[in-house]
A and B are shown apart, each in its own frame.
Chain A
Amino acid sequence: MSKKFLTLISFILIAVFVLAACAPAATATTAPVEPTKAPEATKAPEATKAPEATAAPEAVTIKIWHQWDGKYLDAIAAAFKDYETAHPGVIIDLSKPEDVSNALKVAIPAGEGPDIIGWANDQIGAQALVGNIVALDDLGVTADFLTSTYEPAAVAGVQWSGKIWGLPESQEGIALVYNKAIVTADYLPTDPLNFDDLLAKATKFQKDTGNVLICNQAFGGSDAYHMAPIFFGEGVPSYISEDGTVNLNSPEAIKAANFLLALSKVSLKENSYDICKADLAAGKVGMWWTGPWAIAGVEEDKVDYGILPFGRPFVGIKALLMTKNAVDRGNAEVALDIMKYFTSAEVQKKIALVNKTIPAVTAALKDPEVASLAAVVGFGAALNLGIPMSPSPFSSAQWDPVGKASAAIWTGAQTPEAAMADAQTAAETAVAAMK
């Protein structure tokens, strides 16, 4: 063969390889073995059926990206396993990417994303703006269904811009988890909104015992979430409202900032999740301002604990959101069925009894077994005082300014007034950039 043909063949071969490599991935376009119905054909929502009553299509894999960890995940995975058993044609693939937000940016346009995302409701706005998630109204989920099934805060938490973006799974908020062995009734605040009383008791506790009354991972760090009970408890309606109005320089916010400064004088200078957990167990701090997720650890440490609501915490809603890929792949109907199954009273009751979570579905929350759980009683009372976390994308502008201001107040780098004025400016600038 002459060299001329050899060059030509080499060139053609390279071109073939390049073109083959550039072809779209087969998985992006492959339909399920048995094509599922188009979204328009989805049935109107009904009261969630038990797993065995649901008719599922065959051989459909539903990918769920989630944030569940450790023991939490065990009970949740068992619930999904039950669904698979009842629906032999459905495979549920659970995975936990390191960075969901960035993973979605690549996976959704490539058609490789999940069908369902288990996430906090404050992500709804941002994901809806990008178009990664779809509104459930189009799939037949109605506001009536939501209000008749789930708690009011949870219902508000999954709606944004007049649409329903997910089904709520559980509610979270923080409260004071105290060590009964060292915190007697004398040091327990009686009014959940009396901050002067709490400060007086923290001061007395330190004077009497030499230890610190309250540990909070936000103290000294940039953490607006764990700081919320103080700001909202002192009367701030929200850090940033739905329409982007910033409320960080109000007299209430400055009052909260001054309380923080006063509390820093009778607290650990450095706080973190691990420090609070270890010191509560060691009896070096009396209370840990934390959420239901910490209870398993507290029980492991064999701490005889009580839960007391204080301030107005953020009420975060964990929700299941459906992605655009689920609709594109024709999996919307099955995905919605799984979402309804997972957020149903029966499943959430089972999970609550194991994980000590607070269900978003009313029937599970009112179940006598669930309602009598110490965690549900304590954190439930805190949630009743709480402020629902907004799904609006503006809420993303609140974390950095509030966190930085709180840290600067705690370390003494800024006065409460200067810190809150700076936080107001920073949040307004961030909101203006979004508009």
Chain B
Amino acid sequence: MNVWSGRKKTLTVFLFLLPTIIAILIFNIYPILLNTYISFTNRNKFRPNPDCSVTLTGVLDPLCWPSFRENAPTGLGSPYKVANPVYKNYKDLLGTLFTGDALTALLKIFAAFVPLIIAWQVDKWQGKKVTRDVGSGLIWLIGLIAGILVALLLDFSGAFKLLMTTGDFIVVVFRTLLFVIIRVPLTFLIGFVLALILNNNDLPGKTFFRVILFLPWGASSVAILVALIWQFLFREQGTINQVLGVLFNIAPKVWLNDPTSAFGVIVLADTWFSYPFVMVVILGALQSIPVELYEAADVDGATWWHKIRSITLPLIRPAVLPAMVLTSITAFQMFGTAFAITAGGPQTGANTPGATEFVMVYAYRQIFQSQNYGLATAFAVMIFIMLFAATLYSLRITRITKGAYE
């Protein structure tokens, strides 16, 4: 009798899982390990090849593996080795972030947000009560005023400027986060408004509008090419300036040479690429909301705004939140739009990243233009840690939404 238990069961399960485990090890774990190892070395254009006699290099670098070793090029460059000190690449990226002044500046910036965090917690606590002692708006207003006062008191702008001179990492990450903070809510707002319009049963030609409004999502698969059209629109001799000139007699503005307007153009273009995804998710969620809830609200005399706040937004939350987390991560990793429109520019100096040099554009320049592999991989490791933490947090947020309909 064949007993389906014990060692045999474990072995069979293991064998079935083995291909997947091997694939994960080869395609997920190994690149992370190699990347992390390179980030602790001085590998660059002058030290491009491995010294296979070093154990870790011999194991991790494919050029040391038997099938490649025979053909591995050995040029005039010396082999790369572990950096001295070992964390040198990380230190170079972070610059002076861990000095007393920079850490104080960081604390001052954080302190300006403390009143807002307190307001958030107080609002949450009040929301759990049967009847609120203080209105939500007042709590947030007090938090905002307190935040501004703290910022003025602690010289927020001085602290911020100091922090921006510490090194490339902080500058690039801050600009990317700013991009995410502006682009993601904008995407949600546009997607939400359009979804509400498209969800209206009385709208004539609904299918046509759905297709038209969804088109930018299709275009995003060739984002770099379509982004060139956006670049053309905003050039000195581009369509926008021509229209402004004809209609309002406004002198041509060089949108892409100004750091603020160039940043705005990237936000606009990437929002255009991204809103259809959010719109479709919200549209799906809207259609799952029972009509009876709105009918009951109408009977109670609820206004349109009340219905949006108390029925629509809470009930689309489970579907929208994971989508917003996803779109935030996509926005953080955005490359094509910025690279095609501004290539990271406009440049504000040789020692600072360009005004639209977001994390991926910066990483690209380090790898493909400077060929400073050690520094670029250290940057990648830090970004990986940040995104990994964000992903774990997002899992926590999305778990909160579980059971909204239960």
Contacts of A393 in B (CB 8 A): 45-46
Q: Is B33 engaged at the interface, CB distance under 8 Å to the other chain?
A: no
Are B237 and A400 neighbours in the complex by a CB distance under 8 Å?
A: no
Q: Is B369 engaged at the interface, CB distance under 8 Å to the other chain?
A: yes
A138 to chain B, nearest CB (A): 13
Are A399 and B76 neighbours in the complex by a CB distance under 8 Å?
A: no
Distance of A22 Cα from B26 Cα, bound (Å): 13
Are A404 and B350 neighbours in the complex by a CB distance under 8 Å?
A: yes
Q: Is A161 engaged at the interface, CB distance under 8 Å to the other chain?
A: yes
Distance of A403 Cα from B348 Cα, bound (Å): 11
Are A108 and B343 neighbours in the complex by a CB distance under 8 Å?
A: no
Q: Is B307 engaged at the interface, CB distance under 8 Å to the other chain?
A: no
Distance of A8 Cα from B68 Cα, bound (Å): 32
Contacts of B333 in A (CB 8 A): none
Contacts of B352 in A (CB 8 A): 422
Q: Which of the residues B12, B257, B349 comes within 8 Å of A405, measured between beta carbons?
A: B349
Q: Is B236 engaged at the interface, CB distance under 8 Å to the other chain?
A: yes
Contacts of B72 in A (CB 8 A): 109
Distance of A335 Cα from B375 Cα, bound (Å): 38
Which residues of B (338-352) have their CB < 8 Å from a CB of A?
A: 343, 345-352
How many residues on chain B are close to A (CB under 8 Å)?
Answer: 45
Contacts of B235 in A (CB 8 A): 270, 275
Known A109-B63, A126-B371: A407·B346 in contact at CB below 8 Å: yes
Distance of A435 Cα from B254 Cα, bound (Å): 40
Which residues of A (379-435) have their CB < 8 Å from a CB of B?
A: 393, 396-397, 399-405, 407-408, 410-411, 413-414, 418-419, 422-423, 425-427, 430, 433-435
Are B370 and A430 neighbours in the complex by a CB distance under 8 Å?
A: yes
Are A408 and B46 neighbours in the complex by a CB distance under 8 Å?
A: no
Closest to B88 in A: A433
Q: Is A31 engaged at the interface, CB distance under 8 Å to the other chain?
A: no
Are A413 and B2 neighbours in the complex by a CB distance under 8 Å?
A: no
Closest to A163 in B: B76
Are A11 and B15 neighbours in the complex by a CB distance under 8 Å?
A: yes
Closest to B354 in A: A404
Are A129 and B45 neighbours in the complex by a CB distance under 8 Å?
A: yes
A361-387 interface code vs B (CB 8 A; 1 in, 0 out)? 000000000000000000000000000
Q: Which of the residues A28, A132, A400, A418 comes within 8 Å of B75, measured between beta carbons?
A: A132
Q: Which of the residues B49, B76, B236, B350 comes within 8 Å of A408, measured between beta carbons?
A: B350
Known A108-B71, A129-B48, A129-B75: A411·B346 in contact at CB below 8 Å: yes
Known A131-B49, A270-B235, A270-B256: A109·B350 in contact at CB below 8 Å: no
Contacts of B345 in A (CB 8 A): 221-222, 407
Contacts of A207 in B (CB 8 A): none
B385 to chain A, nearest CB (A): 23
Contacts of B259 in A (CB 8 A): 413
Contacts of A425 in B (CB 8 A): 350-351
Which residues of B (92-119) have their CB < 8 Å from a CB of A?
A: none
Are A404 and B75 neighbours in the complex by a CB distance under 8 Å?
A: no
B211 to chain A, nearest CB (A): 33
A79 to chain B, nearest CB (A): 29
Q: Is B77 engaged at the interface, CB distance under 8 Å to the other chain?
A: yes
Q: Is A269 engaged at the interface, CB distance under 8 Å to the other chain?
A: yes
A240 to chain B, nearest CB (A): 13
Are A269 and B236 neighbours in the complex by a CB distance under 8 Å?
A: yes
Are B71 and A270 neighbours in the complex by a CB distance under 8 Å?
A: no
Distance of A101 Cα from B45 Cα, bound (Å): 12
Q: Which of the residues A14, A102, A110 comes within 8 Å of B71, measured between beta carbons?
A: A110
Are A422 and B71 neighbours in the complex by a CB distance under 8 Å?
A: no
A53 to chain B, nearest CB (A): 34
Q: Is A324 engaged at the interface, CB distance under 8 Å to the other chain?
A: yes
Closest to B258 in A: A411
Contacts of A286 in B (CB 8 A): none
Are A401 and B350 neighbours in the complex by a CB distance under 8 Å?
A: yes
Q: Is A260 engaged at the interface, CB distance under 8 Å to the other chain?
A: no
Distance of A255 Cα from B2 Cα, bound (Å): 90
Distance of A103 Cα from B46 Cα, bound (Å): 19
Closest to B72 in A: A109
B35 to chain A, nearest CB (A): 15
Contacts of A397 in B (CB 8 A): 370
Which residues of A (108-151) have their CB < 8 Å from a CB of B?
A: 108-111, 126-132
Are B257 and A220 neighbours in the complex by a CB distance under 8 Å?
A: yes
Are B372 and A109 neighbours in the complex by a CB distance under 8 Å?
A: no
Are A110 and B68 neighbours in the complex by a CB distance under 8 Å?
A: yes
Given contacts A270-B236, A410-B257, A411-B257, 15 further A-B contacts (CB under 8 A): A108-B71, A109-B71, A129-B75, A129-B77, A130-B49, A132-B73, A269-B236, A270-B237, A328-B71, A400-B370, A403-B347, A408-B347, A408-B350, A418-B349, A433-B372
Q: List 20 A-B contacts (CB under 8 A).
A: A24-B67, A108-B71, A126-B45, A128-B75, A130-B48, A130-B75, A222-B343, A268-B236, A269-B257, A270-B236, A275-B235, A324-B73, A397-B370, A401-B350, A403-B347, A407-B345, A407-B346, A410-B257, A411-B347, A413-B347
In the complex, the 10 A-B pairs of residues with the closest C-beta atoms, listed nearest first: A131-B75, A131-B73, A129-B77, A407-B347, A270-B236, A426-B350, A423-B350, A401-B350, A422-B350, A269-B254
**A-binding residues in B (CB < 8 A):** 2, 12, 15, 19, 44-46, 48-49, 62-63, 67-68, 71-77, 235-237, 254, 256-259, 343, 345-352, 354, 365, 368-372, 375
